[in-house]
Amino acid sequence: MSQHAKSDRNHARAADTPAAGTPAAQSEATPSPADLKRWRQYLADERAEAAVYRDLAQNRRGEERDILLALAEAEGRHEAHWLRLLGEHEGKPRPASLRSQLLGFLARHFGSVFVLALAQRAEGRSPYSSDPSATPAMVADEQIHEEVVRGLATRGRNRLAGSFRAAVFGANDGLVSNLSLVMGMAASGVGSQVVLLSGVAGLLAGALSMGAGEFISVRSQRELLAATRPTQITLSAAPRLDIEHNELLLVYLARGMSREAAEHRVAERMGLLSCDCDPSLSLRPELPEAEDQHEAVGTAWSAAASSFCFFASGAIVPIIPFLLGMTGVAALVVSAVLVGLALLVTGGVVGLLSGTSPVTRGFRQLAIGMGAAAITYLLGMAFGAVVA
């Protein structure tokens, strides 16, 4: 081997070897038991996260599938980094963290937006930024991954926006309003049978009101959208308009076109093939715009039925103890506990889907619901004292 070749190889080795005294060099030279334990956990989590993205990709097509597979490939690069650091100390495969195992289970069995929302939070809490063993590129990867997953989760959130809003609003309204009604009636001193009847009446009245309100809301919204959609009258009326004096230009200006684009559209509609307008301004034929799925979701009947069911599902929770024959303070305590658990769950789901802390959102829902019930209970006590 020539002297030049040996020199080049030595330079290459020196370039690939971390500088003495750097954290990476120290870690590779003498890894401590704590380092080895941490790296093995990182390795297990990277493998689990890559598996999650591959499982999600199986239920996707096109661009979303390619994005998820690219994320899995990036996690594979991180896995290779920890394998290189561990070397002969890799040992037996460790189980992934509980969070990563939960993500894997959900991805394999559901593959929904909930998984992406959880993955977004996981990417945002990556420990690499404070770990000297992770490379700057890995830290940047995790930050970018959070934004990529956020974008994918946003698509799912948009698809869920209308129905999810109705579900959360309906269920929480049923929980809080009927618990408040039950607490207020019980505090006034009436018997448990009256409290139960009041709860049932509140369930039916509220669910019917929600259903009717949602029906009217969606029907009115669809009618409003239909009224604002442009008609095709310009196609049939244009040939009969006076070429010198016509209001077709005003139609397009009123629709928000620039004057230049409007004049070009008028020339097209009037059959004036030779005009001084920029041909690039030519627009596609006027076709009915696709209905905005987030402005009017489904039909009025389906919206009414779902609102009725969501409200009823929440409103029945406060009266379960009374339906089971419980009475007095015990029934109220059990009712409050059940509603509190339901509020924590609905708030947690909102937190997961919004990419924020489910604990914070859950306790926020709990505080609002219990606050409303407490106020109603105090008013019921005052009303009962006045009547007595």
Per-range mean pLDDT, top range of 5-9, 79-83, 138-142, 305-309: 79-83
Q: Look at residue 161 in the predicted model and tell me its pLDDT.
A: 54
What is the gyration radius of the CA atoms in the chain, in angstroms?
Answer: 32
Per-residue pLDDT, 367 = 92
**Could you give the CA distance from residue 315 to residue 306 in angstroms, rounded to a whole number?**
14
Q: Which residue has the higher pLDDT, 54 or 235?
A: 54
pLDDT tens for residues 177-226? 999 999 988 888 888 889 999 999 999 998 888 888 777 877 776 666 66
Structure confidence at residue 191 (pLDDT): 86
As a whole number of angstroms, the distance between CA 261 and CA 279 comes to 10
Please give the domain boundaries of the chain with CATH numbers for all domains: 28-158 (1.20.1260), 164-222+300-387 (no CATH), 230-281 (no CATH)
- pLDDT confidence band for 100 (50 / 70 / 90): confident
Residues 311-337 have pLDDT tens digits of 898 999 999 999 998 888 899 899 999
pLDDT for position 158? 61
Residue 341 pLDDT class (50, 70, 90 cuts): very high
Q: pLDDT grade, residue 10 (50/70/90)?
A: very low
d(CA 263, CA 268): 9
Residue range 46-78, pLDDT digits in tens: 888 888 888 888 877 888 888 888 988 988 999
Q: Does residue 104 have a pLDDT over 80?
A: no
pTM of the model: 0.55
| pLDDT range class, residue 297, cuts 50, 70, 90 | very low
More reliable by pLDDT, 243 or 315: 315
Dihedrals φ, ψ of 324, to 5°? Answer: -85, 5
Which pLDDT band, with edges at 50, 70 and 90, does 80 fall under? very high
Terminal-residue alpha carbon distance, the chain = 108
Predicted confidence (pLDDT) at residue 150 exceeds the cutoff of 70: yes
**What is the C-alpha separation between 217 and 175, in angstroms, rounded?**
22
